[in-house]
Structure 1
């Protein structure tokens, strides 16, 4: 029984923007493999069930919003959505020997009075997704990814926000070609929105229209990175990017309207 009292649960959480934190239910901070796990006694997991089947493995973790590392404001803004989580037990009295209990990503987050509950989705949860892609006239690749292969050098530009009017932002530099930033991304650097991304619907000259407002108020002078977009049509792929060989769509595949065609129709 003496050994049981030496066990502590630890969480390593890595956000999509690269920020990583460590938490433990121990009453003191622990240093494991060069990382400090801050004491967070309010963090408690649900029962951890592991099996050899193919059912998606999930669990819940509950915690108090008392830590400066995880705040209700960041949870509501989605800063922790999709973060990778590794949970393990460690013997804090025996040199930090640890046993992995599970890992996954943060899914749904529910807020309550002075606390939160986060769903952790295991690797097997990916089996719920479709196994193959459906055909489409538009490209299914993302601009610049390993399937698209379009060179993105020179298609990313830093700018500062001059003014903001709802979803429309005015920047201090113009787009390189008409609607070049439409369908692209705008990344926020620094300030309250630092680390977030906003989808760009359309651009014109020095203005961009966002699909939705960022979580926090936009401050004039904020530094952003604007990434060129693509409307995913074969015409744009061939004309603007010269990349028709890597187009991941079927623009000439007959659609359902083929069933309604008849001679002389």
Structure 2
């Protein structure tokens, strides 16, 4: 591989399986089963790589285009967490290439018809805290391998449609049979329309007459749903032991420690403190040994 014939190429794999290839060369390149196109206009800064366990990082900048990376997809979060690979390649002989970076897209921002994406190397995972946290509330995510709740059980999910939208507040219909606040702290997923595939965490959930509900999301979705779009609601869990036992009948898999003492228990007066003070008073008054 010669320096004068070297180009850079990137392959981005979204979580939904879509793969796109880009290159800073002025012609199309093909290798590793990917077609790398030049007209998308993606460029990247030099990869910052360190020895040992330090975190590798870089940035990619490109133009928004209908054929490659669209503003709608960025708003919808479809590029969040996408896998990225970068090669140095001899454009005269594309089979001669060397992988120099592998990681994921971090924060993706857009401005003035362009986007900027932070690239996070494989060492980024080493920054995450590991191990269990000893806390009265559950550490599992509802429905995951530790929780083991089957979310397909009747009563844990509901499907309806959007009646109206006002920012992060949605009026939903077709959700009869669920009590007030049943989906609070749960998830809302959009299953049709322009925002299909997006989801949000439920902040407030209020039951209304005729099977309607008023749902507030903590953060509104990148693309707002429209009236008539289909939605799926998943029951919420506040991580408390009582909720696990009564709402989900899943106490055997509870991943918290509900019998831990309160955080201020060390500073709380002991039950025998009164008896100890009485003994000390009698000792001082008698000037000698006190029978206890």
User: TM-score per shorter chain, which class?
Assistant: 0.7 to 0.9
Q: Which position in structure 2 is the counterpart of 1:252? A: 259
Structure-1-length-normalised TM-score: 0.84
Secondary structure of 2:264's aligned partner = helix
Number of corresponding residues: 264
Pick closer, same or farther for the CA change 1:221–1:140 going to 2, 3 Å: same
2:53 corresponds to which residue?
Answer: 54
Answer yes or no: is 1:225 the counterpart of 2:232.
Answer: yes
Quote how far apart the aligned CAs of 1:105 are: 1.5
**Equivalent residues in 2 for 1:109-128, closer than 5 Å:** 109-128=108-127
Q: Which residue of 2 aligns with 1:201?
A: 203
Change (3 A) 1:127 1:159: same
Deviations 1:48-74 (A, max 9, x none): 244431111111112223454223454
Q: 1:211 to 1:11 in 2, by over 3 A?
A: same
- Quote how far apart the aligned CAs of 1:175 are: 5.2
State the alpha-carbon separation in 2 of the partners of residues 78 and 235 from structure 1.
35
Once the 2 structures are TM-superposed, how far is the Cα of residue 5 of structure 1 from its aligned partner?
Answer: 5.3
Partner of 1:168: 170
Q: Are the equivalent residues in 2 in contact too, given 1:63–1:117 (CA < 8 A)?
A: yes
Report deviation, 1:185. Answer: 1.1
**Aligned partner of residue 182 in structure 2, secondary structure:** coil
Deviations 1:68-89 (A, max 9, x none): 4223454355442222212223
Deviation per CA, 1:71-111, whole angstroms, max 9, x where unpaired?
34543554422222122234454364432111112123344
| CA distance 1:59–1:165, shift in 2 (3 Å) | closer
Q: Rg larger in 1 or in 2?
A: 2
Judge conservation of contact 2:76–2:198 (CA < 8 Å) in 1: no
Deviation at 1:197, TM superposition (A): 1.0
| CA positional deviation for 1:150 | 1.2
The answer to whether the 8 A contact 1:161-1:172 is kept is no
Match of 1:237? Answer: 244
Distance in 2 of aligned mates of 1:151 and 1:112: 42
Question: What root-mean-square deviation, in Å, do the aligned CA atoms of Structure 1 and Structure 2 show?
Answer: 2.8
Shift of 1:4: 4.5
Q: What are the superposed Cα offsets for residues 219-253 of structure 1, whole Å, 9 maximum, x if unpaired?
A: 11112222222121101111222221221112211
SS state of the match for residue 256, structure 1? coil
Question: What's the offset of the Cα at 1:6?
Answer: 4.8
CA distance in 1, matches of 2:76, 2:151: 29
Counting only pairs closer than 5 Å after superposition, residues 142-221 of structure 1 correspond to structure 2 as: 142-154=141-153, 155-166=156-167, 167-174=169-176, 176-205=178-207, 206-207=212-213, 208-221=215-228
SS in 2 for 1:136: coil
The separation in 2 between residues aligned to 1:204 and 1:113, in whole angstroms, is: 39
Query: Superposition pairs for residues 60-71 of structure 1, below 5 Å?
Result: 60-66=59-65, 68-71=67-70
**What stretches of structure 1 of length at least 5 have no aligned partner?**
none
Q: Which runs of 5+ in 2 are unaligned?
A: 274-292
Residue 124 of structure 1: how far off its partner (Å): 0.8
1:235 partner SS: helix
Say which is worse superposed, 186-195 or 72-81, in terms of deviation: 72-81
CA distance in 2, matches of 1:111, 1:214: 16
